Structure 1
Amino acid sequence: MSKKLFLLDAMALIYRAYYALIRSPRITSKGINTNAQFGFTNTLFDLINKEKPTHLAVCFDTHAPTERHIDFTDYKANRQEAPEDLLASIPDIQRIIRGFNIPCVELDGYEADDVIGTLAWQAADAGYEVYMVTPDKDYGQLLIHPSVFIYKPPYMGSKEEVLDAKKVCEKWDIARVEQVVDILGLMGDAVDNIPGIPGVGEKTAAKLLKEYDTLENVLANADSIKGALGEKVRNGKDSAIISKKLATIITNVPVQFHEEDYQLKAWNNEALIEVFTELEFKTLGKRILGDAFNVFQTAAAGVQTDLFGNAVETKTAAKADGEEGLLATGFSADKNINNTPHEYHLLDTPEKVQAFLNDAVQQSEICFDTETTGLDANEADLVGMSFSFTPGVAFYIPCPPERDKTLAVLEQLRPLLEKPDITWIGQNLKYDMLVLKWYAFELKGNIYDTMLAHYVVEPEGRRSMDLLSAQYLGYEPVHIEELIGKKGKTQGNMRDVAVDKIKDYAAEDADITLQLKHALHPQLKEKEVEKVFYEVENPLVKVLTAMEFEGVKVDVGFLREYSKQLEIEAKQFEENVYQEAGVRFNLSSPRQLGEVLFDKLKLDPKAKKTKTGQYATGEDVLLKLAGNSSIVSDILGYRELTKLRSTYVDALPEMINSKTGRVHTSYAQAVAVTGRLSSNNPNLQNIPIRTERGKEIRKAFVPRDAEHTLISADYSQIELRVIAAISGDENMCEAFKQGKDIHTATAAKVYGIADEEVTKEQRYKAKSVNFGIIYGQGAFGLADNLGISRAEAKEIIDNYKKEFSGITRYMDGMINFAKEHGYVQTLMGRKRWLRDINSSNFTVRGFAERNAINSPIQGTAADMVKMAMIRIQAAMEKEKLRSRMILQVHDELVFDAHNDELEILKPLILENMKAALPLPNEVPVEAELGTGINWLEAH
């Protein structure tokens, strides 16, 4: 076997790992951000596993100045400060590297590039294949040695890439890898603040090297280079010389490659267990160390995802988060069922159940949990139920496989289940309530959902029962794998488990959830989020349970016909593309498509490539080219139709519940940090509404029968009304009070004209500013969005801020409030914690500042919709209506209305939507309502 040495550029990989998770950071129970540690460890382990290196080292920079800093004081001077969390990760990462028994190599006065370059050439001379693991383009110069390669590890979905000298030359458009330093000397490197020759870019530099071969020859022939370019070269001579020196990697650093020091050895499991435990690497630790890592026995069921890849709140997901999911983390815990006193009782006879009932009906609070045959509450059967009202004591009642016998068990429990003065405690209670509803039973009392309590306390936190148990109780529950085997991904074989084993597992769930309630409850008061919990999230659970149970009818016949139509149209688009391209190819292959568009058809000489080296052909890229060639429009048309067919038109019929003939979407309350609901199986939030073909899908959603009609009620410009209200901006508030079209009114102010003079184009631009400003969009983003110059975009924004100065004051005020308090909040007190708001790294801080501005707006709108749902459901129940609320999408509610109740229901819906959450500064809340024989017509 050949000897393979891998040399890792530590800081480049650490930065990459940190920023890969910047939008969904991994935070431990102690508030430590472990993005970098987690990502780096994953990269290191995967590399060892996949590439099987025989030798390995990780090279670091030091804080000591290098010769480059002495030669050029501005070297790397423009780099923003590293995020504090990233810097804090380095000692942990070095501990992890040492735990793998891999050397960390660094030397004062030299950068990691220099250390890697020196070791790479020494090892290559000794007969090794050497792979420099880095995303840094400068390393190409080291590929002079034929046994040295650049290894770019996988990143953000891309595959790993190995570069040899030929690929580096192709990438730079140069003849020899030695010219990498020449091209860098000419064009500079903004990342390291290497100046190069001002005005000379990559393509010009490559062109000069084609003619003159080296930077020195370019400078020697500067007088013969004509025009402005010659002047730039002559004026930039000194800058080019120092730039080449700065870009040249030193290969005679005083380090020595001793192969025995770099040979992979057995890992120090004890050291890895220690650091993985501290960093709460639950699943990752198990994946790396196997059974040696038994600190965490937590289930790796993970965040379930639906057909469309969205996070789903299933019962299992609410109990255990996998590390690879968005809600990923882990906690250590010392207590478990084997070392903690408990009394778990099996109630397997009517007499035992009755004895329990006599005591239970006297209680004011009871924790309740179900065990079932599956994750989908609409399809699952009851296996058993557990109850607890005293910490450490719980009861398990098994349910026989026969439905009639389970109904008999439930009937005996009816006096308890339907007792109105009991508060039912549970973790993701919606699941349990939905299961009961399929047996025609319901919990009549109030509810207290521990998952939602934690959600309002820590909206970005992780909230599996296992994790919360470890965090708040120091307790590690029994895990489902221990019952159904390590390969079990669902509870589908729970029926095969001995009742006594299920008893411990199920009773413990109820016991621990009860204790979690006692631990979490004081947090609501401490964090001042009681109002949003008791008035918004908790009461919404019963509303969502009723909606999910009801479902919506789908017209399968329409979908099948529409699928055929889309197939024909997509085929026509495909044929158009082949005709225009002059060649047949795999239209679904981004690589082949890129080669056709940019190599063959030359649609964009500046076409960008992805990290894998292929042309970028995403929708954003193609939309910018759509006006240049009909082939691009045909490609976009083909993509739209094929996606509509596969994602919705052909998928929806497969989701129809066999018992009801309807589709039952599932609503997740505790996923979106802003408070917005998300839906899964199907994800109704993502059904396209901006294109005619996408809108047609809404025709498939229909009333249950001829006696019903769909009603769609939609809030009007709610987020803009919210920002007007909470900012108190005089002009915007007045426009809403007068019932003006807000975008027309905005355009009139921005352009200094009367409302009636506003053109369609001006209104469109004003609309873009209205929505863009609250998401932190600047002149560059607005210009790109509208296809206008940056100067015009800046003028529009400046005028906007002048005319709507209250909006600017709001934005500045929210950022300052967040800097002082560490959070922002909605009108109902929903909080968004912004731990990076005072970061010295402007990228990280900027992300937090944008959240400070838009979270109160989005969150208040979300609270309003939820409160409207609660009010409407209560009003419908009070009137004993047969009509049902069936869907919630963004700011819209959809109802399956009985025809006899239409005139009662319409004002009931509108009045409760408008009154759900009154806005300050007398900004009116408006909603619009429509009816129809399908969702599209109603909307």
Structure 2
Amino acid sequence: MKKLFLLDGMALIFRAHFALIRNPRINSKGVNTSAPMGFVNSLLEILKKQEPTHIAVSFDLPAPTFRHEMYKEYKANRQETPEDISIAIPIVKQIVDAFNIPRLELAGFEADDVIGTIAKKASGAGFQTYMMTPDKDYAQLVDENTFLYRPSTKGGIEVLGPKEVLEKFDLDRVDQVIDLLGLQGDAVDNIPGVPGVGPKTACKLLKEYSTVEGIIENVDQLKGKLKERVSENRDQAILSKELATIKLDVPVAFNEDQLLLKEPNKEELVKIFNDLEFKTLLKRVFPGEAPKKVAPKPGEQTSLFGGAAPAAKAVQEEVVEEIEIPIDTINSVAKNYRLIDSEERYQELVEYLSKQSEFAFDTETTSLDSLLAEAVGVSFSAKKDEAYYVPLTLDKEKDQKILAHFKDLFLNEKILKIGQNLKYDIQVLDNLGIAVKGPFFDTMLAHYLIEPDKRHGMDTLSEHYLNYKPVSIETILGKKGKKQKNMRDIPFTEVYEYACEDADVTLQLKYALESQLKEKDAESLFYDLEMPVMETLRVMEKEGVNLDVPSLETYSVTLADEIVQLEKDIYDLAGEEFTISSPKQLGIVLFEKMKLVDKPKKTKTGQYATGEEILQGLRQHDIVGKILDFRQLNKLKSTYVDALPKLIKEDGRVHTTYNQAVAATGRLSSTDPNLQNIPIRSSRGKEIRKAFVARDEDHVFMAVDYSQVELRIMAAFSNDQEMINAFKAKKDIHTATAAKVFKVAEQEVDSDMRRKAKTANFGIIYGVSAFGLSQQLDIPRSEAKQLIDAYFEEFPSVKKYMDDVINKAREDEFVTTLMGRRRYLRDINSRNFTVRGMAERNAINAPIQGTAADIIKKAMIDIQQWMNTQNLQSKMIMQVHDELIFDVHKDELELMKSKVKELMENAYEMKVPLEVEVGEGTNWLQAH
């Protein structure tokens, strides 16, 4: 069977770009590669799974088409093409050419006309043709041999033949798709249609009168406004149908041989993919074909420093032979990597490093969990291309004796210690009784401040800043999976070069990044905030928190009983048993058997949509409310109630991991468990917080929470006197806002007014639109707009701040917090208003949210330093958003309440005073 795939290149480029717009793929050169990556992924899926015999890609050309001649306003209201897409188009064309896939382009015609013409000719020649595009207009071309192959931005594929088209559009004939488009118009292409006629009305008219022309001929049979609209717009309807019609007689030849699937141009494709940094895609296209790295020759000297490595050459070559090379200009300088495995050499290395002003170090371990990890060895580097590896034995007593040689070195506060993700390595050494004192330089955190939106892994940084790809861990341990080895299983003769390279690369990254910190005015933020808070977080992680496991176990049983009862209720209402957690089975029950709606929405794969948003809109039905409760309880039980006890370590406590380099705004996140997402609003969710308890009867929980810190920062940034005065007078800011916006006395503000004012207060910080506010408050958009207008009328300084910060961002292409943290906004000047709008919202929010993050980090540093000087039994154990939680010894409670409040409220001086609320109790819920 001859199988032809015709791809709409422009449509796929746009789809890929906007699918990843919230998390774009930016390579080390600053190029947004989302569209090329998405396009290639789609192409490879076709080649692998669909196995076409013939293929082509069609592109629109920038010249006007015959439709512009017919109607000068055609596509006139389209936004400017985003700059990243303009850059992506020629790249994608190069990729298509390198795959040896023909490009179909013709001036004066659009890609759909070219594809339509080829598809019809191919159908007549016995081909099965698949038109790959997200554009629904292609549905008019479908026949028994021609199919619409529609990719979804959420994943999955929708293949439409004649039967599926008729079902999807509720039509009698495929050619009526053109009439449907002519009647309803197309806002994207600025096809006018008949004003006021939407899909439902159009389908109803077509079922009765067959075509646009048939409707116009029978206009006298229509009634009311519809008759008036069709009558007044009959010429416009005919024009719209012509504009929506895909031409099938474009002067383009159909040549079977030209469309045959061919082998790609390997050399050209490798070059393009390396330039784009598509390492994974390169492996998919050419498995095992990446070039190899040449093994460096060991030095010939015999002294320890600057001399030859003692490992066998055969081992060295065996290890490095498998390393892939991502770029042509790889660093091939010979490395002096040495094993240090005797008392004499320990002393020599310590003596050498003690004379240095700085050194990089890295630990090789058995686990990614720093509290469980056993150290296999430690590597050091104090000079470019030179490093030393100290293997350990995994016998704690023996390893402590080995590391004792290095104890004073790590304690020396005159030597800068450099590392990549230092918090982890410091904790690993702490497990063996080796304390590491600063000053510190963490290359991961340095890059986080330099490029907060990018990836900060060592390999990525090395390729970008050093033009060098380090040895992959998989080269040593094998690929991830059950068969992957553990570092404890690898002889140190096979590990030492890999370990040395990590320390060497980290040292070289420090050289590259410190100048970047200075250039970006981030030195103070790095040395005075991020480095000190790193150690504070490590201490908190090590401390952990107690869990009341019996209460969670009891609650788990309670939830299980509630879930069983909900199941029974749902089965009774449905009249049958089914798998409630199966979207497919649930959709059939709700929409086919119970018929809750006339025309239920479907997913791209053809299943009924049963997501949260869909079900919330049907909550008036008893069964839907119970299904939503069923989902919530299952998630609560599996994600928290049953999962938390499994995270308890040998000391009987739960130890989260704080991620310092994830959120671009500067906020901390946490994993295993994710403390930031523990629910607190619902009564069921509060039971989770109740399970976090003080360590013993001599301790209590103390929670200290910044009060409305982001609104206070907004007031300070905008210098709005009304807001500042309200905060200084200790008024309820939402009540005060409601009184101003609704123009009533504060005592007359009811709960609904306060709710709306509160939502507006926080929404304004995030640059909320009238549409967004209407969704949040479930009110008409017009009312939401009035609320926003009234807000800005009463708080004009807030509006001025928002306008000023956006204008300043357009000049600088970044915004800053009060402490100098930058958020780069590469799309702030985009001509595309969707892309630009997102950047503008970030411009408003990032300085506020980032300043709040900086303030609590500063408070944590101040508190930890004070607690260290006091030698207290109390401990700071958790940070969640604007809240700090302490395990406080009862004898120290009053001192802690007073001093922590003082330090938090004085962490940063602003025009608006910072305030905190202090709570105490035997568990987190009581204290919060």
TM-score (norm 1): 0.93
1:256 aligns with 2:253: yes
Which of 606, 624, 631 aligns to 2:623? It is: 631
Confirm or deny that 1:840 pairs with 2:831.
yes
SS at 1:266's partner residue?
coil
Cα distance in 2 for partners of 1:364, 1:839 equals 46
Q: Is the 8 A contact 2:152 2:604 kept in 1?
A: no
| Distance (Å, rounded) in 2 between the aligned partners of 1:296 and 1:9 | 39
Deviation at 1:287, TM superposition (A): 2.2
Higher mean C-alpha displacement, 929-938 vs 604-613: 604-613
Note if contact 1:386-1:394 (Cα within 8 Å) is conserved in structure 2: yes
Q: After alignment, is 408-417 or 535-544 more displaced?
A: 408-417
Secondary structure at the aligned position of 2:253 is classed as coil
The secondary structure found in structure 2 opposite 1:455 is helix
Q: 2:161 aligns with which of 140, 145, 164?
A: 164
Indicate yes or no: 2:389 matched with 1:400. Answer: no
Q: What is the percent sequence identity of the aligned residues?
A: 55
- Tell me what 1:852 maps to: 843
Question: Alpha-carbon deviation of 1:893?
Answer: 1.0
Aligned to 2:719: 728
Equivalent residues in 2 for 1:300-319, closer than 5 Å: none
- The reply to whether residue 466 of structure 1 matches residue 459 of structure 2 is yes
| Aligned equivalents of 2:326, 2:676: Cα separation in 1 | 33
Q: Residue in 2 aligned with 1:202?
A: 199
Aligned residue runs from structure 1 range 368-383, under 5 A: 368-383=361-376
Q: How does 1:881-892 map to 2 (within 5 A)?
A: 881-892=872-883
Residue 297 of structure 2 corresponds to none
Provide the residue aligned with 2:346 in structure 1. 353
Question: Equivalent residue for 2:508?
Answer: 515
Q: Does 2:805 correspond to 1:808?
A: no
Matched ranges for 1:387-466 at <5 A: 387-466=380-459
| 1:149 to 2:117 alignment | no
Which letter maps to 2:502?
D
- Quote the offset at 1:330 in angstroms: 11
Equivalent residue letter for 2:243: L
Q: Which contiguous aligned blocks of 4+ residues in structure 1 show a shift greater than 6 angstroms? A: 488-491
**Structure 1 residues 754 and 333 mapped into 2: Cα distance closer, same or farther (>3 Å)?**
farther
How big is the shift at 1:133?
Answer: 0.4
The Cα of 1:364 is off from its aligned counterpart by 2.4
- Give the match's secondary structure for 1:192: coil
SS of the equivalent of 1:218 reads helix
Question: Which amino acid in the other structure matches residue 455 of structure 2?
Answer: R
Q: Identify the residue that residue 614 of structure 1 maps to in structure 2.
A: 607
Q: Note if 1:545 corresponds to 2:538.
A: yes
SS of the aligned residue for 1:292 comes to coil
CA distance in 2, matches of 1:540, 1:271: 47
2:236 is aligned with 1:243: no
What are the superposed Cα offsets for residues 709-732 of structure 1, whole Å, 9 maximum, x if unpaired?
111111110110111111111111
Is the Cα contact below 8 Å between 2:5 and 2:54 reproduced in 1? yes
Q: Which amino acid aligns with 1:160?
A: I
Partner of residue 638, structure 2: 646
Offset from partner CA, 1:188-212 (integer Å, 9 cap, x none): 1112111111111100111111111
Once the 2 structures are TM-superposed, how far is the Cα of residue 605 of structure 1 from its aligned partner? Answer: 4.7
Within 1, Cα distance between the matches of 2:483 and 2:873?
Answer: 36
Paired residues of 2:292 and 2:325 also in contact (CA < 8 A): no
Q: Distance in 1 between matches of 2:606 and 2:222?
A: 33
Amino acid in the other structure paired with 1:134:
T
Measured at CA, do residues 606 and 875 of structure 1 come closer, stay the same or move farther in structure 2, by a change above 3 Å?
farther
Cα deviation for residue 598 of structure 1 reads 4.2
Cα distance change, pair 389–859 in 1 and its aligned pair in 2 (3 A):
same
SS of alignment partner, residue 888 of structure 2: strand
Which of 194, 211, 215 lines up with 2:212 in the alignment?
215
Cα distance between partner residues in 1 of 2:485 and 2:792: 58
Sort the Cα spacing of 1:505 and 1:488 in 2 relative to 1 into closer, same or farther, 3 A: farther
Q: Which runs of 5+ in 2 are unaligned?
A: 295-323
RMSD of aligned residue pairs (Cα, Å): 1.8
Residue number in structure 2 paired with 1:134: 133
Counterpart-to-counterpart distance in 2, 1:881 and 1:637: 45
Q: Secondary structure at the match of 1:895?
A: strand
Residue type of the alignment partner of 2:682: T
5 Å matches for 1:27-176? 27-143=26-142, 145-156=143-154, 158-176=155-173
Distance in 2 separating the partners of 1:581 and 1:480: 53
The DSSP-based 3-state class of the residue aligned with 1:63 is: coil
Distance 1:559 1:294, change over 3 A: farther
Amino acid at match of 1:151: Y
- Tell me if the contact between 1:168 and 1:177 (Cα under 8 Å) persists in the aligned partners: yes
Letter in 2 for 1:714: D
Distance in 1, Cα, partners of 2:492 & 2:769: 62
Contact 2:602 2:609 in 1 (8 A): yes
| 1:391-447 alpha-carbon deviations (Å, 9 max, x no partner) | 222111000021211111122221212223222110100110111122222202321
Structure 1 partner of 2:265: 268
Moved more, 231-240 or 668-677: 231-240
Q: Secondary structure at the match of 1:688?
A: coil
Quote the offset at 1:487 in angstroms. Answer: 4.6
Provide the residue aligned with 2:25 in structure 1: 26
The letter for the 2-side match of 1:268 is N
**Match for 2:551 among 552, 555, 558?**
558
Greater Cα offset, 775-784 or 872-881: 775-784
Contact 1:282-1:330 at 8 Å conserved across structures = no
Q: Please tell me whether the aligned partners of residues 394 and 508 of structure 1 are also in contact (alpha carbons under 8 angstroms).
A: yes
Rate the CA distance shift 1:917–1:333 in 2: closer, same or farther, 3 A: farther
Conserved 8 A contact 2:360-2:381: yes
Change (3 A) 1:227 1:598: farther
C-alpha offsets along residues 519-551 of structure 1, whole Å, 9 cap, x if unaligned?
110111111111211121111111111111111
Q: Distance in 2 between matches of 1:557 and 1:761?
A: 40
Query: In the TM superposition, what is the alpha-carbon distance from 1:459 to its structure 2 partner?
Result: 0.6
Please report how far the alpha carbon of residue 611 of structure 1 lies from its aligned counterpart in structure 2 after TM superposition. 2.7
Cα contact 1:295–1:332 (8 A) shared by 2: no
2:329 to 325, 331, 334: 334
Inter-partner Cα distance in structure 2 for 1:548 and 1:330: 37
Which residue identity lines up with residue 788 of structure 2 in the other structure? I
SS at match of 2:287: helix
State the one-letter code of the partner of 1:625: L
Residue 472 of structure 2 is aligned to residue 483 of structure 1: no
What SS does the corresponding residue of 2:227 show, helix, strand or coil?
A: helix
- Stretch moving more, 163-172 or 632-641: 632-641
Q: How does 1:743-758 map to 2 (within 5 A)?
A: 743-758=734-749
Q: Which residue of 2 aligns with 1:656?
A: 648
Looking at structure 2, the residues matched to 902 and 364 of structure 1 have their Cα atoms a distance apart, in angstroms, of 42
TM-score computed with the length of structure 2 as normaliser: 0.94
Aligned to 1:8: 7
Find the counterpart in structure 2 of residue 315 from structure 1.
none
Deviation string for 1:212-232 (max 9, x for gaps)?
Answer: 122221111111112222222
1:384 equivalent among 359, 369, 377: 377
Contact 2:291–2:325, Cα closer than 8 Å, also in 1: no
Give the 3-state SS of the residue equivalent to 2:130 in structure 1: strand
Indicate if the aligned counterparts of 1:37 and 1:89 stay in contact, CA closer than 8 A: yes
Give me the whole-angstrom Cα distance separating, in 1, the residues matched to 2:241 and 2:588.
33
Q: Deviations over 1:105-144 (max 9, x none)?
A: 111111111111111111121111111101111111111x
The worse-fitting range, judged by mean Cα deviation, of 860-869 and 562-571 is: 562-571
Structure 1 residue runs of 5 or longer lacking an equivalent are 298-328
**What is the identity, as a one-letter code, of the residue corresponding to 1:192?**
D
Provide the residue aligned with 1:311 in structure 2: none
Q: Which string of whole-angstrom CA distances, capped at 9 and with x for unpartnered residues, describes residues 471-515 of structure 1? A: 112222222222222456998522232322311111111111111
SS in structure 1 of the partner of residue 153 of structure 2: coil
| Aligned residue-pair number | 899
Is residue 760–residue 788 contact of structure 2 (8 Å, CA) maintained in 1?
yes
Could you say which residue in structure 2 is the equivalent of 1:788?
Answer: 779
CA distance in 1, matches of 2:482, 2:82: 38
Amino acid corresponding to residue 582 of structure 2 in structure 1: S
Judge conservation of contact 2:545–2:655 (CA < 8 Å) in 1. Answer: yes
Residue of structure 1 aligned with 2:821, choices 800, 821, 830: 830
Q: 1:341 deviation in Å? A: 2.9
Aligned to 1:312: none
Q: Which residue of 1 aligns with 2:299?
A: none
CA contact (8 A) 2:156 2:605 kept: yes
Paired residues of 1:748 and 1:758 also in contact (CA < 8 A): yes
